[in-house]
Every structure is written in structure tokens, then in C-alpha cells.
Amino acid sequence: MGQTGRPTSTSNLYRLYSLAHLARISRQQSTTPPQSSPARLLPAPNPTLNLASPPMASPPPPKLPVPGRRNVLITSALPYVNNVPHLGNIIGCVLSADVFARYCRLRGYNVIYICGTDEYGTATETKAMEEKCSPKEICDKYHAVHSEVYKWFDIKFDKFGRTSSPQQTEVCQAIFRKLMENNWLTENTMQQLYCDTCQRFLADRLVEGKCPTEGCNYEAARGDQCENCSKLLNPTELIDPKCKVCKNTPRIRDTDHLFLELPLLKDKLVNYINETSVTGMWSQNAIQATNAWLKEGLKSRCITRDLKWGVPVPHEKYKDKVFYVWFDAPIGYISITASYTPDWEKWWKDPENVELFQFMGKDNVPFHTVMFPSTLLGTGEKWTMMKTISVTEYLNYEAGKFSKSHGIGVFGNDAKDTNIPPEVWRYYLLTNRPEVSDTLFTWADLQAKLNSELLNNLGNFINRVLSFVAKPAGAGYDSIIPDAPNAESHPLTKALAEKTNKWVEQYLEAMEKVKLKQGLKSAMGISSDGNAYLQESQFWKLYKEDPAACAVVMKTSVGLVYLLACLLEPFMPSFSIEVLRQLNLSPEESLSFCDNKGESAKAERPWEFVPAGHKIGKPSPLFKELKDEEVESFRNRFAGSQAERNSKAQADAEAKKVADKLKGTKLSEGGQKKEQKKQSGGSKSKNAEVDVTVAKLDIRVGLIRKAEKHPDADSLYVEEIDVGEEAPRTVVSGLVKYIPLEEMQNRKVCVLCNLKPVAMRGIKSHAMVLAASNEDHTKVELVEPPESAAVGERVTFAGYSGEPEASLSGKSKTWEKLSADLHSNGELVACYKDVAFTTSAGVCKVKTIANGEIR
């Protein structure tokens, strides 16, 4: 079924694209011949040589199931062809399925990923009316739009087809005939809304009215489903229905249709659901939605509609009708496979050897767990039934909802126009994937994840490692990977290897269970540990003081870079291609993580991934910061609906015309002076406000190396805290009353480093440990960064950038002004206003004090 939504840059990390990446995109997805290389001076051709162009490489043959291998068939909900997909649609089905398909290829499974546009039905007819063209023209137009959007997002289908194909008609009608033969279909007269003005029966999506569901009352519910509460409806159930075409009130009229008798198929269906939901580890939201349908009681479902655009019903009495889209669209998975290979039955009729994984949004669950399985079971044939279903909740936009019908949110073509590269969008959507509950897209959050997690964590680690290796001899390794014998005997490296192996085990377990967000988090944990490893090893000192140990650290770190390129390829393929280019490794040969090749076992020995003597390529930054002003620009640019944006653009264009006409018109001198004075005063006031920003605070991740009681004060501790400098800082804190001494040892804390030093009972304190207190100050807890955050890393705040003040002097009152807005929120996250304290490894938190003040 088509993927639907609800009524329905921060640190701009811009990827620096390589020619290799662009060539890869061309090789993988372009259907046009490659462009010629730049002209070069060549010797005159030898007339005896055959200079005929070599024949074009033929596309690879379609993949078929292979006995003895793991054969995986992946589908994602077929997106409706009547509009441009928005980010909620993309993460809800197509992108999630792509990640899993890429993971399966990485692991060496025999996999195909099938998708395409859902082209029949009322939605297409309605859009054709709006755009004053034929349904086929609409389908041709938007199929191309969808293809282009998915190509830009690096979605790698084995086949992206269409349901308006001869194969769809053939397969759909064959299934219908089997259902007729087996007596699972009945005829019935139903009441349907008829518009006298348009002189036609109104299909579900041509009717809108008030939702009849108690507690909902949504005013613009469609005739088939309410976008607000997701309740499936019949058009006649709507309160005060209206024809979407002419806005008049339709009347009820009798019409004959064919029905699939779901109640008679219930036993077969329930047996399938009970068995497969367990063995296939269905997501909890899929199980709940399915059980809700079963609990309500299965009802006969109409499979025909009074439309012209669709698969014709092969029955004399109903030859002027077409199949209803809920019946016909899931069959599209089969027909698109049939357009991929004539041997499609080897995928779809071999349940012993093929596993079917399906991805969709939550509003599509009943069509895939109840209706489509019932259809296949009713044929009596041996179909490959869905094993695992992965369902997402809704991704909402800023303060509202993504909506195709209302044009709200960021759409696929919008993402491309921001110049934020596809791997950044993929990463953000996947870290924010709504697996168990609705999640929220915000520009500030995109910025924070881009700058903190991609730039400062992942990009920083890789660039730091490769840049050091690339330095000339005497300062680095002249781009040659050093030998590192006995790496396992290096204690710090051995501890890192154990952590890395655990992360890889967690990654594989999560991905096998289609817990994509957890898989991504596990891979990023390797990067965080890598940063901490570099910092703790102090490799820049080891290079001169202990060259053998430095070689171990760098060879191991290069191994982690390679490992990250592999594990993150399903999530950010173009990033991985670029990292392998910088490693001077072939993606075709190197992107693999198979058990039978021993690649996954190497996680216990990361120094073995890249051999000594290998020469790396030229390192370069992988991401670029997204600035505050860019984020604000995007937020304004994508505010409101698409229609409102278009109106605003037209108004801006008119305003520019007026402004251009006024150029050169002279104001009186007095007016100029007044205006200049007014602007000057306003600017001063605005700048004064901007100057007092939380970025002025130098808050860092610190590690308490030692803590002891103050010799002359019972209520004070004296701590030695490592904040990433040559020597630890001495800090005095009044925490004796609240935190036991043993809990102050060797723990990470958030430290304000640019307060003016102050003597406390004879000992000068050179920083301040941040802590949260409850309302009556009877309880105090330390603000804690994530365990894997790098010591010395600066804590950042999304939407606020700039350098900290050298010293927060008493005159500026900066600390006094800003500290009033430091607090822990209801989720125990440390915040400035509503913006989290953020490190490359995640946000900073307190243990139990919600809504406490932080000082």
C-alpha cells in the first residue's frame, strides 16, 4: 500500500564530494551513458589497430534464490505516485528498507530489494483532476520525481517499478480467479455516495467529512481513513460528507460489488499470525495494530470500485469496475518482482528458502498483516509469506505534522536544495527513526547531530587518524601503515579491542532484529571509544617517546576507521565510499563483513584490518559545520505549507520590485540622520543581546583523577580534574554534604573552565563542577556527560556557536545572566533553556533530579 503520513542547518556538515563518489552514483544509478573524460593529447592512432568502441556492459542478470544460502526478499511500502515524498515517508519505509538491504549485502546474504510507485486508485484520479491531465500522465510525472528523489538519497533498489504494468494486471487477475475458484468471494449490494453534479459514484478519497470516531472529530477525514486517528472508514460513515471535486453534498445510492470473505479465512489467518509474529520477531506496534483488528472482528471487505483507472475486474458483470487499491497494491510487490525477472515465482513461491521482510509506516499495518496474507492464503497456493514486519510511528515536523496533502514539512526535493549532503540527511533520519513512538524533526536537532556526532565525533576521529599517518616521516608515517607486532600485549589497545568487539556484537544483534537505530548507535559507539583511545594514549607524545606503542595505536586506529566504513555503509553509503577512498581501498572488494570470510571475527583484533605497509590516500575533512544562520534560514524557508511558501516567495518578489524602484530616491538629510540614529541604536541593543550567549561559557568534559576533603573546611572537596590540558586543574566544590567521597573518584563531570580563579579557605579553585539541585536544595547531583565522551571535549548547545570568553569577569555578569537558564528537564537532560548540553557521544544528564536548577 502507498506509504501515507499524518494529515499528512545548525552545524551544517557539508560533505566534500569526491569525484569517486560522483562516479559511483553514476555507475550505480544512472541510466544514461557516462560522459567522456576531459580531452587529452594522445599519439596519432595506429591505422592497423581496431579502434571500435567496446560493447556496453550488459546489466547483471537478475538474482535468484540460491540453495544453501540465506535468501532475503525485502519490500518497502509502495509510495503513492500522486505527490513528492516527504522525510516522514522516506524514513517510514524506503530508507529503512534500504539500510536493511545494504546490511544484508554487507553480510553476504543473497538479497533483493523491491519497491515501486503505487499508481492506481482514487488518489491518482484526484491528482489528475487537479493538474488537468490524464492519470497516466500523472503517474509518468511523479514516478520520475520519486525515482530522482530516491536516487539522490542513495537508495539502492534491485528494482523500482510501477503498478500500472502488464505484469500487475496479469498477477492480480490470476489471484482473483483463484479466490473465485475457492469460493472466498461473494457479491453484495452496498450503499455508496453518488454525486449528482459530477454524475459519478464517489470513491473513498473523493469524499471528505468529519471523522465519526468518538474523541477524534477531525474535520477533514477521508472516505477511506482518518489521517488524524488512523481509523479505517467507509465514506457513508462520515459526518456531513462533501464531494472533493465540486464541494456539494452527495447522496447514498445502491451499487453491486465483490467482497473478500475475511471471516471465513480467519482460522488460516490467525494460525499464520500466531506463528509468524513470534518467529519473525514482529515489532510491537505491528502486533498491537493487528490484534486490534482481530479483536474488533474481521468483516467482509469490498475488493472492487467504480473507477476507470485500475486493474480491470475479469468478470462479465463487473467488467466496468476495477480492483480496489487495498487489494491490488500489495500484489504490486509480486508484479514488480515479475518485471525484474520472469522467474519471479522462485522468490514468491518458495517459503522454505526465502525470507520476506516488509517495511512500512504504522497506518499500513492491517493491509500487510491481515488483508494481503488473507488474499494469498485464499488462493491455496504455496506463497512466500511475510516473515518479519518493521513498522515506524510518525515523524513530526517542528511544531506540527508532515503532510503530503497539506504540503507541510521538508520534502525530498527540498532536502536536495539545501545542499546538505544525502549522508547527513540519512544519518539524522535514522538516528531519529520513530521505531516505538512518534519522533520530532527540528532544524536545531539536525544541526546538533551533524556538528556534534558527525563532525566532532566521527569526522574528527577519522581525520585525526589519517592526517597523522599521512604526515611526512619525522612527524608521521608518510602515508604508510606501520607494523605493530604484539599489539594485543598493549594494555590500552587490548581494552579497546574488547570494547570494540562488544559494540560489533551489539550491532549485529540489533541489525538482525531490524533495530536499525540501535545498530547505528552501536557503530557510533566505536567512534566515541576511538576518540577516547586517541586522547588517553596521547599518541602525539608516544611518537617521540615510545615509537613502538605509537605504531600500535595508529595501526589499531586505522583498523577502526576501516571498521566504521564497513558498519556505517548501510546508513551512510557515500560516506563509506569516501572513507575507503582516503584509505586507498576498493569499495567493491573491501565493503564486506561476512562471518564465512572471517571479517567479523577481526573486530577482536582491529589492528589486523589494514595490513602494515599499505599506503593510504589523501585525507580530507569529511563534514563541514552547519552554521546558526543557515539553520535559521532553513527554519524560515520551510515554515508553513508549500502553498504558503509559494505565496511568500511571490510576495517577496513583488517587494523586491518595489524596492528596486525606490533605489536612487533621495531622502531628506534630516530624515537620513534620524534613520541612521534609529538604526544605530537598534543595532547596539540587538548586538548587546546577542553577545550574552551560552557559547561564552567554556564547559568541558572533565575526569576527576583524585578527590579529597579540604584540610580546612568540612563542607568542601578538593579535586584534581583533567580537562584535556597538560596538567589537571585544582577545583574546590561544596559537595561534601551531598555526594560521598568514594563517588567523587574517577568519574566524568561537566566543568565550567573560564570562571575567574577564586581562593576558597586557602586553596585556589580554577574551575567549577556543575551540579543540579532540587527545589529546596536538599538534594544535589552532578551533571554527567556520557561515559564515552572524550575528556577535554567542549560541551556545545545547538543553535549557539562562538568562542568562549577567556575569563568570565565580574563586570560582564555573563555567568549570572546565563546561569538562570541552566536546568535539568523532565527527561533528566541538562539544558540551557530548552537546548541540551551536548557532546559528541550524546547529551549530558543527571540521575534523578528533574526540573532542577544547575549551578
Task: Inform me whether the pLDDT recorded for 22 exceeds 70.
Answer: no
Residue 371: strand, helix, or coil? helix
Question: Taking residues 132-144, what's their average pLDDT?
Answer: 92
pLDDT band of residue 406 (cuts 50, 70, 90) is low
Tens of pLDDT, residue by residue over 427-468, are: 999 999 998 888 888 888 999 999 999 999 999 999 999 999
The predicted structure's pLDDT at residue 244:
85
Compute the average pLDDT of residues 630-657: 62
Per-residue pLDDT at 816: 82
Cell numbers linked to 149: 528523489
At 811 the pLDDT is 65
What average pLDDT does range 471-496 have in this prediction?
95
Question: Over pLDDT 90: what percentage of the chain?
Answer: 61
For the record, the C-alpha cell of 741 comes out as: 567521597
| Angle, alpha carbons 826-832-834 (nearest 5°) | 50
Task: State the Cα–Cα distance between residues 138 and 115, nearest whole angstrom.
Answer: 19
Confidence (pLDDT) at 692: 64
User: Is the pLDDT confidence value at 96 over 90?
Assistant: yes
Q: Which of 499-503, 516-520, 522-526, 642-646 has the lowest mean pLDDT?
A: 642-646
State the chain's mean pLDDT as an integer. Answer: 85
For residue 196, the model assigns a pLDDT of: 93
574 vs 229, more confident: 574
State residue 670's pLDDT score: 40
- Of 830, 80, 51, 99, the C-alpha closest to 514 is 99
Q: Mean per-residue pLDDT for 234-255?
A: 91
Q: Which pLDDT score is estimated for 507? A: 97
Amino acid letter, 642:
Q
Task: For residue 649, count other CB atoms closer than 10 A to its CB.
Answer: 11
Residue 842 pairs in a beta bridge with 839
Q: Between 75 and 38, where is the model more confident?
A: 75
Residue 9 pLDDT exceeds 50: no
- DSSP per residue over 682-728, as a string? HHHHHHHHHHS-GGGS-EEEEEEEEEEE-TT-TT-EEEEEE-SSSSP
Tally of residues, the chain: 855
Between these two residues, 200 and 535, which has the higher pLDDT value? 535
Lowest-pLDDT choice from 59-68, 506-515, 652-661: 652-661
What average pLDDT does range 366-371 have in this prediction? 94
Mean pLDDT lowest among 54-68, 353-367, 598-612, 697-711: 54-68
Q: What is the pLDDT of residue 413?
A: 81
In sequence order, which residues have a C-beta less than 8 Å from that of residue 747 and are 6 or more positions away? 703, 704, 782, 784
Residues 54, 734: Cα–Cα separation, whole Å:
79
Percent of the chain with pLDDT strictly greater than 70: 85
297 Rama class: left (phi>0) / alpha (psi -120 to 50) / beta: left
Q: What is the DSSP letter of 619?
A: -
**Residue 610 neighbours by CB distance under 10 Å:** 22
Residue 467's pLDDT is: 96
Contact 14, 420 (CB under 8 A): yes
Predicted confidence (pLDDT) per residue in 773-817, tens digit:
988 888 999 999 988 888 999 998 887 878 888 888 666 678 888
Question: Concatenated DSSP letters for 442-505?
Answer: -HHHHHHIIIIIIIIIIIHHHHHHHHHHHSPBTTB-TTBPPP-TTGGGSHHHHHHHHHHHHHHH
pLDDT of res. 56? 54
Alpha-carbon torsion 597, 599, 604, 608, what sign? positive
- The residue among 846, 847, 789, 699 whose CA lies nearest residue 452 is 789
- State residue 407's pLDDT score: 54
pLDDT digits (tens, 9 = 90+) for 649-687: 554 455 455 445 544 444 333 444 333 433 444 433 333
How far is CA 336 from each of CA 157, 166, 172, 332, 344, rounded to the nearest angstrom? 12, 10, 12, 6, 9
Q: What angle do CA 90, 93, 98 make, to 5 degrees?
A: 90
Distance CA 284, CA 315 (A): 40
Most confident of 4-8, 258-262, 359-363, 771-775: 258-262
Q: How confident is the model at residue 402 (pLDDT cuts 50, 70, 90)?
A: low
Distance CA 401, CA 434 (A): 13
pLDDT bin (cut points 50, 70, 90) of residue 713 is confident
